[in-house]
Structure formats: structure tokens, C-alpha cells
Amino acid sequence: MNWDDTTETAADGEERLVGSAADGEDQAVEAALRPKDLREFVGQAKVREQLDLVLRAARTRGAAADHVLLSGAPGLGKTTLSMIIAAEMAAPIRITSGPAIQHAGDLAAILSSLQDGEVLFLDEIHRMSRPAEEMLYMAMEDFRVDVIVGKGPGATAIPLELPPFTLVGATTRAGLLPPPLRDRFGFTAHMEFYEPAELEQVIHRSARLLDVETDAEGATEIAGRSRGTPRIANRLLRRVRDYAQVKADGVITREIASRALAVYEVDERGLDRLDRGVLTALLKLFGGGPVGLSTLAVAVGEERETVEEVAEPFLVREGLLARTPRGRVATPAAWAHLGLTPPQPPPGAPGGAGQQGLFGA
């Protein structure tokens, strides 16, 4: 599976409760849960402080804000922040995305119809076509585009002045942006995964908006399983709400949250069936590894790509699995998480099975 492909959404979002891409239901409810201004936006303290300065300064100057690049994993709040930027600047916002801009002409049409000070939100900016990208360089820097009229030797470039605007680009893959594009942003915000306490705030806020009663421990329980991602926190909250309404009195407590998420097979750390399947195979069948990716995938009954790109990133981030040149290796934390005991090394042998060279002496 290619990250640049929309299949990411299919594999990571639609089928998994803990997938980070937006599914249909997310899209329908997210608009209602989006914070509307910077003060309401939870967490990302550094980004918020820096962005606040950028926007305040622009407002004082009475000018459009500098172009802003938002980079970070899916569901951390890039689209939300872009809308907040427009709201804080009291400017209209135009929303489009890299894949929607196939030809430079598409971009020229959008740019030339912008109003003074408008925010242009370009989602998935790393997926824009090369000719459009080159047109964007000039638009960002000089607020000008050359529209090419005609073809072949008779083609002429007609320069077109643009009103000052703020480009807000969003990407999950900042590393894929060509340096000339990255350099033209005045401010780059790197969105980090959220701390559990921040996710608790997100959950309390969303619970209020969804009109569902949640006590402190209930929110803590959901936050711990949300993989550092507000989108997942909101999604788990909705599933727990369903359970609370059907099986209890509608109030979300620790007990209700943990029973509900057990039904949905999301464990205390946010691992789902796929994640646990991969870890269990690695521990039980291969003694913790090292084992090659293909062998591991066959053992789990999944595609290689699913294991590598859907399950592993989170397991690696959580320090449960390591990718080594000799294969996949479970960490001591993985044994502990699944409540299993690592095999003892034979007497006199250096290090334990599967941990040689990585964690062993």
C-alpha cells in the first residue's frame, strides 16, 4: 500500500475503530465537534502560541497572514486549525486539496478568484501535480501567476496579479514536499500526538456537545485508548455512548467505558484485534522474533502491507515492536502488555531468545 494513495483511507479508516483516517460517520459529525477558535483548541500548546503570534501580528498590520504549513498524522487537527486561522483573521476560506488540482489551470482558476485576504486551504498538499506546484511557488511569493494561453510555439504567458491571500497547506507527509515549496511557508506547525490529559479535555468537550454525561474516570478510560489522536477519541466516545445508552443509564463511567471498548476489542492501550494478532503471533509463534515481515504476515493471515503499514507504525510508536535488519522483534513491554513471560535464555547463553543484539548484553 502506497501512502500517497487513497487506499490508506480504506485500510486504516473504514474498517477499524482505531484507524486514524476519517470514515463516513466521522466526516458527518466532525464539523459539529470542531473547536471554532484558538482558545477552544485543546493541546498543541507550542503551535497555538506561535500561531497566535503570527495571526495577531498580521491583524495589527492589517495584512493577510503569512502562509502556514500544518504537518502531522491524520486526525490531529490540521483541518480544524485551518478553519480557526480563517476565523481568527475574520477571512473567508476556500477549501481544496492536492489531488483535486490536476492541472495548473485548475489552480489558476482558484487563485484568480480569491478575495483580498482570503484563506486558501490546500489539504494533502504533497499530492499536487508538479506543474500546479510550480505555479503555486510564484503565487505564494509574488502574488502573481502566469496563465499560459495557446499551445506550442504560439503559446504566450499572460501575467495575472493576485490579491494578497494566506495559503494554509496541510500534509501528513511533510518529508515529501519539495524544499522550494516548504521554504515558501512563513510558518510551519508540526502537530504532535496528544497527551492523555489533553485527550480527556477533548472528550469532555465533545461529550458536552453531544449531550452525554461523562465522569472524570470515564473520560480517562477512553483517552488512554485513543492513540494520542482526537479523531479516535471522538469516535470511541460515540461508541461508548451507544453502549451506555443501550446497556446502562446513559452515563459514561470507567466501568461502562471499559466494558464498551472490550466489546469493540480496543484494549487499554488502544490496540485492536489486528494489532494484538500481530503481537500475539510474534510472541507465541516466534518467541518474540526476530522474524521476517512476510512470515509474520502469513502467520497472522494478513497482507504484508497491512501488517507493515496499518499495524506496525503504532506498535513501534508504543515501543512494543522494533524493526531490525534481522526482522521484527518484540520488546519486553510487548511481553508485559500481553501478560506473557519471555522465554528464558539457556544457561550461559548471552541475552534472551529474540532479544540478542537489541536488548541483550
Please tell me the distance from the alpha carbon of residue 120 to that of residue 313, in angstroms, as a whole number.
31
Closest CA to 190 of 27, 85, 81, 95: 81
Q: Is 99 helix (H, G, I), strand (E, B) or coil?
A: helix
Count, residues near ligand ATP per rule CB under 6 A: 22
Between 169 and 270, name the residue whose CB sits nearer to Mg ion: 169
- Contact flag: residue 253 with ligand ATP (CB under 6 A): no
- For residue 131, the minimal CB distance to ligand ATP (Å) is 24
- Contact flag: residue 22 with ligand ATP (CB under 6 A): yes
Q: Going residue by residue from 169 to 188, which x/- string records binding to ligand ATP, judged by CB under 6 A?
A: ---x----------------
Q: Which three cell numbers stand for residue 154?
A: 504560439
Residue 123 is a catalytic residue: yes
Q: Is 304 annotated as a binding residue?
A: yes
Selected catalytic residue, list 231, 235, 241, 276: 231
Q: Is 264 annotated as a binding residue?
A: no
Measured CA distances, 247 to 221, 238, 250, 326 (Å):
18, 14, 8, 48
Among 20, 44, 79, 171, binds Mg ion (CB under 5 A): 79
Q: Going residue by residue from 35 to 64, which x/- string records binding to ligand ATP, judged by CB under 6 A?
A: x-----xxxx--------------------
Please state the φ and ψ torsions of residue 166, each to the nearest 5 degrees: -115, 120
Selected catalytic residue, list 166, 171, 172, 214: 172
Using CB under 6 A, which residues numbered 201 to 220 contact ligand ATP?
Answer: 202
Closest CA to 221 of 209, 239, 245: 239
Residue 254 is a catalytic residue: no
- Contact flag: residue 30 with ligand ATP (CB under 6 A): yes
Provide the binding-site residues for ligand ATP, judged by CB under 6 A.
21-22, 30, 33-35, 41-44, 74-80, 172, 202, 230-231, 234
